[in-house]
């Protein structure tokens, strides 16, 4: 089963389009793993997938503590995404992707800035061989996103001017990416990107809650999945918060 189909199947099964960003803050007490497991076990009825960033991989270890999280996610039948933002030369990118896929992740994120040939092509090839996914960063959720993703560029072949994120959305479509990240803090960008991608490449939107993104405009602009982290993980009742966000999203999807 392809990653797109796996996500679609999970969303239908769980009746949720919420991806949990399991990105906890620095902790000297060595409780990161136990806290992460507790949160995942508590909120899993209300999410359709789990995303992990390097801030957990670095302290826990890819083939140590992270394996326990991936094993738990697998037991709960939840797809897993490694938010590694691959952004190097091709041979290095290939090895990075192979490590994460062999560790058990179903998909990785990657930065289209580096291009295709000797850039992300090896990642897509490995993903296809291993039946895994690649999600491209099209427009991130932070305030400075416009400095890179929003700049105006010139197509070297046609000379046409366009925003950088539009070019990235077009790459996501032509490269047959498994997803495109567009921040929930910029629903107008989601709307533009959705006009390019439609339902061929699903949009993943981070930034709901703490960063200022709202569920309703994000969904109505065309986002397929909401990536929610601190709003859930740092709340007093993660399960209750996850359920509330899931229910709001369900109402918006009707």
Q: Is the pLDDT of residue 30 over 80?
A: no
d(CA 223, CA 233): 22
Q: Is the pLDDT of residue 253 over 90?
A: no
188-227 pLDDT, tens digit each? 999 999 999 999 999 999 988 778 788 999 999 999 999 9
Residues belonging to the active site: 85
d(CA 237, CA 44): 13
| Of the candidate ranges 24-28, 39-43, 82-86, the one whose mean pLDDT is the lowest | 24-28
DSSP letters along the chain, please? --HHHHHHHHHHHHT--EEEE--PPP-TTS-HHHHHHHHHHHHGGG-SEEEEEHHHHHHHIIIIIHHHHHHHHHHTT--EEEEEEE-S-HHHHHHHHHHHHHHT-SEEEE-GGG-IIIIIHHHHHHHHHHT-EEEEEEE-SSGGGGGTTTSEEE-TTT--EEEHHHHHHHHHHHTT-SEEEE-TT-HHHHHHHHHHHTTTS-EEEE-BSTTSB-HHHHHHHT-SEEEE-HHHHTSSSHHHHHHHHHHHHHHHH-
d(CA 67, CA 199): 32
**Which pLDDT score, from 0 to 100, does residue 140 have?**
94
69-82 pLDDT, tens digit each? 999 999 999 999 99
Contacts 24+ apart (CB under 8 A), 194-200: 194/221, 194/222, 194/223, 195/222, 196/166, 196/169, 196/170, 197/169, 197/172, 197/173, 199/224, 200/173
| Cα dihedral 173→179→185→187 (10° resolution) | 50
Q: What does the pLDDT average to over 88-93? A: 97
**Which pLDDT score, from 0 to 100, does residue 29 have?**
63
Q: What does the pLDDT average to over 4-15? A: 97
Res. 159 pLDDT band, cuts 50 70 90: confident
**Which pLDDT score, from 0 to 100, does residue 1 have?**
82
**Which pLDDT score, from 0 to 100, does residue 21 have?**
96
Phi and psi torsions of 186, nearest 5°: -130, 70
Could you tell me the domains of the chain? 3-253 (3.20.20.70)
Q: Is the pLDDT of residue 28 over 80?
A: no
For a pLDDT cut of 70, what percent of the chain falls above it?
A: 99
**Which pLDDT score, from 0 to 100, does residue 25 have?**
84
Buried b (16+ CB within 10 A) or exposed e, 113-147: ebeeeebbebbbebbeeeebbbbbbbbbbeeebbe
């Amino acid at each position: 089963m392809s990653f797109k189909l796996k996500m679609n199947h999970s969303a239908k099964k769980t009746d949720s389009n919420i991806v949990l960003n399991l990105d906890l803050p620095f902790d000297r007490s060595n409780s990161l793993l136990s806290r992460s497991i507790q949160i995942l076990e508590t909120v899993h009825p209300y999410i359709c997938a789990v995303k992990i960033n390097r801030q957990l991989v670095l302290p826990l270890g890819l083939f140590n503590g992270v394996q326990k999280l991936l094993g738990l996610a697998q037991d709960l039948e939840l797809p897993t995404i490694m938010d590694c933002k691959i952004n190097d030369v091709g041979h290095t990118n290939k090895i990075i992707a192979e490590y994460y896929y062999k560790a058990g992740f179903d998909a990785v994120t990657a930065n289209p800035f580096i291009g295709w040939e000797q850039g992300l092509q090896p990642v897509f090839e490995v993903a296809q061989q291993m039946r895994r996914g690649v999600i491209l960063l099209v427009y991130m959720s932070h305030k400075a996103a416009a400095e890179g993703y929003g700049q105006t560029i010139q197509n070297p072949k046609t000379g046409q001017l366009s925003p950088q994120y539009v070019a990235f959305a077009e790459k996501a479509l032509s490269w047959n990416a498994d997803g495109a990240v567009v921040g929930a803090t910029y629903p107008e960008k989601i709307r533009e990107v959705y006009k390019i991608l439609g339902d061929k490449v699903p949009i993943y939107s981070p930034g709901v809650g703490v960063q200022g993104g709202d569920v309703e405009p994000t969904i109505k602009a065309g986002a397929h999945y909401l990536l929610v982290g601190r709003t859930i993980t740092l709340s007093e009742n993660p399960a209750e918060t996850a359920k509330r966000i899931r229910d709001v999203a369900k109402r918006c999807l009707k």
